[in-house]
Chains A and B, each alone.
Chain A
């Protein structure tokens, strides 16, 4: 392997990306180092992004958060409370403290695994991905950025620079199924976000389709129930039948497969449970 590229600012990083299309961009290394350690990948060289100053922080611009691609999961856990709580909750389910200290939101997005834990809350929030190359910059919704398992619209000369996430306007929840509370790749996961201002419900399913999918029928169903009952203005308890139906519609939106982590049938069953559960958590929080 040739000498690692270690740019210190974004302009140099983009120039390096343009000049060395075969170089593998690496941030926290939590996925890529495994591939190097096990001889699964031998890039001609590595483009180390950990020193690029512009990627390291996050900021609030009006009603949006601009989160640099190099922000770690650990930082999302502490910093997103009250701003993008669903993202913070999801980040806390990633790996272990060691993994959360290294893995970044940009890496999670670029890897584009259907099981990427940061992805469901970002899709449910309507996040946009900002990319740049030596010749310009563009921004696409995450739902369009992801095109399949580990596939996305990034060009070989582009890097993810930041994620734009609307500040939460209501409760957000994320739940993930796995054999234990830490160190698991999601068998399936679900984000549910309530927007009390716009009076909308948004969902996103992880690890149960080729990419992250929304359960739009479930969203429309529960928005109808809430509107009909005048529940946004007078938030009473939600009928159990509505929670159950919401869960069923979430499960129906998934396109799961059988694999080593779980069967398609199990994933559908679990998503119905997660749908019921996360919606009731959100609604309890909204009522309080």
Chain B
């Protein structure tokens, strides 16, 4: 049976999938969208975070079939090709990106946080990003990036 889902606004039909396959695998291996990273495959690292019907999830823990007829947004869908969004720009400017592997997951978690809470305090930021691991930055620059993105989005109204 075909898997039909919308990813970044575009409807995709995947001819055949293994019934135990994760959404992450479909995104990366069948749709050629490598933004969601494959790391722990157990929901521990947050690197595969995407929005599923506007809810932040680990795509490795979503059965692909559960995304049937649903809408997914990955990091690739946040800005037009060759452009970046406010959150992405803030990560670049503050040095929140080192090796970059965890970055898409952090970007998605930050997007989710700032949609729910445009001016979060530090405790709220830490709680919102608790499901994303970074082994390079020590997190301080990432916190800077979230604060900067929050300030800029606030200024834009």
A interface residues with partner B (beta carbon < 8 Å): 1-4, 6, 26, 28-30, 33-34, 36-38, 42-43, 45-46, 48, 50, 95-99, 101-102, 181-183
Contacts and interface: CB of A to CB of B under 8 A. Distances in A.
Contact of B20 (A28, A46, A97, A183): A46
Interface in B36-79: 41-44, 46, 49, 55-58, 60-63, 65-66, 68
A24 to B, nearest CB: 10
A97 B56 contact: yes
Contacts of B22: 33, 36-37
Contact of A38 (B18, B42, B132): B42
Contacts, number: 91
Contacts of A1: 18-20
Interface of B: 1, 18-20, 22, 41-44, 46, 49, 55-58, 60-63, 65-66, 68, 109, 112, 127-128, 130-132
B152 to A, nearest CB: 22
A182 to B, nearest CB: 3
Q: Give the dominant DSSP class at A's interface.
A: loop
A273 B46 CA distance: 32
A6 B65 contact: yes
A252 B45 CA distance: 36
Contact of B61 (A4, A29, A97, A182): A29
18 contacts: A1-B18, A29-B61, A33-B63, A34-B43, A36-B20, A37-B41, A43-B20, A45-B19, A50-B66, A95-B43, A96-B43, A96-B130, A98-B46, A98-B58, A98-B109, A101-B56, A102-B57, A102-B61
Nearest to B113: A97
B88 to A, nearest CB: 19
A16 B61 CA distance: 23
A4 B65 contact: yes
Contacts of A30: 43, 61
Given A4-B65, A42-B20, A46-B20, A34 B42 contact: yes
Contacts of A95: 43, 131
A97 B66 contact: no
| Interchain residue pairs A-B with the least CB separation, the first 6 | A96-B131, A182-B130, A1-B19, A37-B41, A34-B42, A33-B61
Contacts of A48: 63, 65-66
B131 A182 contact: yes
A4 B21 CA distance: 11
Contacts of A4: 19, 63, 65
A270 to B, nearest CB: 21
A42 B19 CA distance: 10
A147 to B, nearest CB: 27
Contacts of A50: 66
B65 A46 contact: yes
A181 B63 contact: no
Contact of A6 (B57, B58, B68): B68
Contact of B56 (A29, A45, A98, A181): A98
Contacts of B46: 96, 98
A26 B68 CA distance: 15
A28 B66 CA distance: 9
